A and B are shown apart, each in its own frame.
Chain A
Amino acid sequence: DADVTQTPRNRITKTGKRIMLECSQTKGHDRMYWYRQDPGLGLRLIYYSFDVKDINKGEISDGYSVSRQAQAKFSLSLESAIPNQTALYFCATSDSRGQSNYGYTFGSGTRLTVV
């Protein structure tokens, strides 16, 4: 099983719909992140959480919300999807105890298309 699992892998939704992307991890890491990736723009941070009670906005949080349901689960919601939210979304984790030695562990991504 993958260390970081994202569901769904692909999703097509209509403008105005609410959609949730889910992420779960078996790494035992305390920190979790949501990024989106667009061609030519690289990975941009949406939200991050350093523990269950900690939620922080990233570079591009407008139009998104998150929930850290447990240490292992971090979900991303689009309250009212719009076409420019079409992108590849990645969840990532890291361990604060080993942050200076190891990088992030990424999920396989969710390809979201808003029509």
Chain B
Amino acid sequence: SQKIEQNSEALNIQEGKTATLTCNYTNYSPAYLQWYRQDPGRGPVFLLLIRENEKEKRKERLKVTFDTTLKQSLFHITASQPADSATYLCALDIGGGAGNMLTFGGGTRLMVKP
């Protein structure tokens, strides 16, 4: 069966450190992968998109890697801040040529302590 896995356990790190979150998938060949941030009681907010032919994408303190051989994406937040505390979701495009349809992982909660 098709599956997207994110670590369901919360990740606790100290302010200033780099947070690294993992997204693994099986039985997909996505055209691209996206990362979202979700705060409690709010809708997810789009952060970054990376295509299958891109190895790495950066946006300010965020960096995403995409390894289609390992079927894995890593999401990094450098110089983390308490305001980065949230749940982070990865999502895969499974629509193929029919257009984008996203399937989401369960998310990983990040807690950044001062």
Residues of A within 8 A of B (CB): 4, 31, 35, 40-45, 48, 50, 90, 92, 94, 96, 99-109, 111
Residue of A nearest to B43 (CB): A106
* Complex-state Cα separation, A92 to B104, whole angstroms: 13
Contacts of B43 in A (CB 8 A): 4, 90, 92, 106-109
Count contacts between A and B, CB distance < 8 Å.
59
Evaluate contact between B49 and A103: CB separation under 8 angstroms.
Answer: yes
Q: Do A45 and B101 contact each other (CB < 8 Å), given the known contacts A40-B8, A100-B51, A103-B34?
A: yes
Size class of B's contact patch?
20 to 34
Residue of A nearest to B45 (CB): A106
Contacts of A99 in B (CB 8 A): 99-100
Ordered by A's residue number, 27 sampled pairs between the chains whose C-beta atoms are within 8 Å are A31-B99, A35-B104, A40-B8, A40-B106, A42-B89, A42-B104, A42-B105, A43-B89, A43-B104, A45-B103, A48-B101, A90-B43, A92-B43, A94-B100, A99-B99, A99-B100, A103-B34, A103-B46, A103-B47, A103-B49, A103-B102, A104-B102, A105-B46, A106-B44, A108-B42, A108-B43, A109-B41
